Structure 1
Amino acid sequence: MAVPKRKTSKAKKNARQTHKKLSSTVSYDSVLGVYKRSHYVSSDGYYKGRKVI
């Protein structure tokens, strides 16, 4: 069984995990006049400018 010889430093660990983050994709919806997350239905039930719910 492989066992690490030394403790991994915080800098080394954080450098390895930089791609593990949430990307905030926020776009402006001109129909509703508000900012919303991309590819999500708004609270009013609109998606791509159409009422879906």
Structure 2
Amino acid sequence: MNIKEIIWKKLGEDFRPYRTSCTCIPPFTYKALLAEDKIGAILPSNVFVQQ
């Protein structure tokens, strides 16, 4: 999933290129990634790729 695109569509916010295998709650994912860019390691997803 393209997190950058999902955040833009759901929240109208711009975000760096970031992909994951899934995201359950985009607003919480966005806030968590803003607070800590390595938070993807503990979010409930199998694969994260950030630029």
Q: Max radius of gyration: which structure? A: 1
TM-score > 0.5, shorter chain as reference = no
Q: Which has the higher contact order (CA 8 A, sep 6+)?
A: 2
TM-score (norm 2): 0.25
Instruction: Give me the TM-score of the superposition, normalised by structure 1.
Output: 0.25
